[in-house]
Amino acid sequence: MMPVNSVGQWAWWVLVTVAFLGIGSPLGAQSGSPAGPVPPALLRARRAALAAQMDGGVALLLAQRERVNDPPASDYPQDTDYREDNDYFYLTGIETPGGVLLLRVQEGQLVGEELFLPERNPAREQWTGVKLGPGEDAARLTGLSSDQILPLDQLEEHLGRALRRTAGETPRFFFKRDQRTPKEPLVDQMASRPGIALEDLLAPLARLRAVKDADELRRLRRAIEISAAGHVAAMKRAQPGLFEYSLEAEAEYTFRRLGAERLGYPSIVGTGMNGTTLHYDKNRAELHNGELVVMDMGAEFGYYSADITRTIPVSGTFTKRQQDLYSLVLATQQAAIDAVQPGVTIRQLNSIARDYMRKHSGDLCGERTCDAYFIHGLSHHIGMDVHDPSGGGALEAGMVLTIEPGVYLAGEGIGIRIEDDILVTPTGHEVLSAGVPRTIEGIEQLMGTRKSQN
C-alpha cells in the first residue's frame, strides 16, 4: 500500500479509491441494499489473489443453500432470510442460491473462471421475486464475461474437463472443508474420487479476507457508524424501571433505520449479574438503580459486521466503586490500543493488556489481581464474520480487530467490558468506533442529556 503520513490521509486515500472504482447500484447484487454492489474490478482482483495462493489446481465454491424452499412448509415460516456464503460473496459479489464458482489455476495464474447459476423460473419468481440467472446482468456484476456465466446443469461436465486439464499427474481439487457434507453431494462426490489431491480453501481465503480492501473498509466503516449510533440511542434511553429489551429495541431500531439489513450477532444487554455472563442474550431483566449494564451490540451493513461493547450505569452516574473498576478496564484498553500497529501480534496485545491490568489493579479485586477476572481474549478480527478469520501472524495495514478487556465480579454483580473496533493503518491505527463515548465523563454527560430531556 502507498505510504501514508497520518490517519486522516489514510482515510482520505480509502475514500478516493472507492470513488475512483465507482460504486453503483445495479439490480442483482444485493438488490436494493444500501451498501450497493462490490466493484467488479475488486472481485477480479480477489479471485486473482486467491489463485496466486493456490499455485495450481481446480477450486469449487458453492453459494449458500436456502434454509427453506417454500416458507409455508417450514415449522418456523419467519426463519427464511437468505444470507449468502461469505466466501462466495467475497469472490462474486452476488446473492444466488444454488450458484457455483469454478476456478482453474496454473502456476498461480487464473486460466479459467466460470460461474454456474440456476436458470430463471418466471412462474416461481411470482412468489420469490426476480432471481439472477445466466446472462449479461450476472457478467456485469461479477466482472466475468457473458460466456463465463453458464447454466447450473453444465457444472459437472465443465468440472470434469477442468480436472483433466490440470497440470501434473495428480489433479488438485480445492474446496471448503465446511462444505463437504451430505447437503453438498457434488463436493463430497468430487472429494471422494480416487487419484485426486484434496486441498482446503479455508486457509487461503482466511489470509485474503484478513486484509480489507477499499470496498470492505467502506462497508465496515458504515456498519460501525450505524452501531455507534445505536449504542448512543440505547445509552440515552437507559433508566431504572425499563427492561434490557428496551435498550435492545432502541439500538436495533436505530440499526435498521440507518440501513443495516441484519444484526452482526444477537444483541447482548445484561444488567447487574447478567453482565457477568459473557454471551447472555435473553435480555429480559428489569434495570435497577445502582446497577451497571453491559451492552454488546453490532449491526451488519452490506455483509460486514461491527462489534462494539459499552458498560453504563443505569442511574446515569457511576458509583465510586464502579468508577475505580471502570477506569482500570478503560486504561487497560487504551494501553492495548496504543500498541496497535503493523508487525504486532494479537498475542502481544493480549500480554500488554493483562500486564497493565495486573500492575495497576492494586486491591480493587481483593486478594487476587483483576486480570484473574479478565476471563476472555482481548481481540479478534472482524469483517464478514463478527469473529472473522485472521490468517494468523502479525497485524498488517488494512486489518480490523477489536480491543475488548473486561472484568467480571459475579460476587458483586458487576460486569464491565469496553470494546472498540480498530483499523490497522500503515503507521499505526484508527479507532473506528469513536462515535460512541467510552470515558466516564463522556458516558455520564450523554446520559445527563437524557435526564434533561425527561
Q: Burial of 303 by CB count in 10 Å (0-12 exposed, 13-18 middle, 19+ buried)? A: buried
Instruction: Please give the chain's pLDDT, 454 residues, in tens.
Output: 333 333 343 433 333 343 333 333 344 556 678 999 999 999 999 999 999 999 899 999 999 887 655 445 555 554 557 899 999 999 999 999 999 999 999 999 999 999 999 999 888 888 878 889 999 999 999 999 999 999 999 998 999 888 888 766 678 889 887 765 655 677 777 777 778 888 999 999 999 999 999 999 999 999 999 999 999 999 999 999 999 999 999 999 999 999 999 999 999 999 999 999 999 999 999 999 999 999 999 999 999 999 999 999 999 999 999 999 999 999 999 999 999 999 999 999 999 999 999 999 999 999 999 999 999 999 999 999 999 998 789 999 999 999 999 999 999 999 999 999 999 999 999 999 999 999 999 999 999 975 555 5
How do strand 400-403 and strand 420-425 relate by DSSP bridges?
antiparallel
CATH code assigned to 214-453: 3.90.230.10
pLDDT given at position 453: 57
Rounded to whole angstroms, the Cα distance separating 97 from 138 reads 13
CATH number among 1.10.3720.10, 3.10.20.30, 3.40.350.10, 3.50.50.60, domain 38-210: 3.40.350.10
Residue 247 and residue 274 in contact, taking contact as beta carbons nearer than 8 Å:
no
Other CB atoms within 10 A of residue 132 CB: 22
pLDDT per residue as tens digits for the range 135-151: 999 999 999 999 999 99
Buried b (16+ CB within 10 A) or exposed e, 343-368: ebebeebbebbbebbeebbeebbeee
pLDDT given at position 76: 52
Rounded to whole angstroms, the Cα distance separating 44 from 218 reads 18
Domain boundaries, the chain: 38-210, 214-453
Residue 322 and residue 430 in contact, taking contact as beta carbons nearer than 8 Å:
no
